[in-house]
Amino acid sequence: MRTPGLIFALLIAATSVSANEIDWSGGYVGALAGAARVDTDVSATLGGEWSAPSHPANIQDRDSLTPLLNRDLRSTGAFGGLAIGYNVQNAGLVYGAEADIAVLDADVSRTQFNTAGILLPPQPYGLETSSKIDWLATFRTRIG
């Protein structure tokens, strides 16, 4: 594959650009917006009394509950934020760095419960699972 040679040729061509071209040096500020998706895998293990051979009803309950507890949480939400960057032009090459930060509205929760004797006797249980992303930040450099 000749990718390094191609990159080198592009850099040489970029440095031969006329000095009368636009100067990309300087700072800038921008905004960003988009959508986000949250996928969370929930994995629960019931041990202790749930696995005690002396309590076969608990083992039966454990085997019935485990598939109910091990589920995925999925949600979508929106995000928005600000970006800031700075470029320096040297002949035909532009070097730069950019950082951004965004707030997200992507969360999901689920509550499951059972009262002893109703669905899976004799053990009552309660479980609340949630997943939330509050913010996202990135940093990148560039040359071109």
Q: How far apart are CA 48 and CA 52, in angstroms?
A: 6
Q: Nearest 5°: phi and psi at 115?
A: -100, 135
Over residues 72-118, the pLDDT tens digits come to 888 888 999 999 999 999 988 999 999 999 998 888 887 776 655 54
Chain segment 116-132, per-residue pLDDT in tens: 554 555 556 677 778 88
User: Do residues 92 and 15 lie in contact, with contact meaning Cβ atoms separated by under 8 Å?
Assistant: yes
Q: Dihedral through CA 94, CA 97, CA 98, CA 99, nearest 10?
A: 180
Residue 142 pLDDT: 92
54 three-state secondary structure: coil
pLDDT number for residue 97: 97
Q: Identify the pLDDT of residue 33.
A: 94
Per-residue pLDDT for 25 more than 80? yes
pTM over 0.85: no
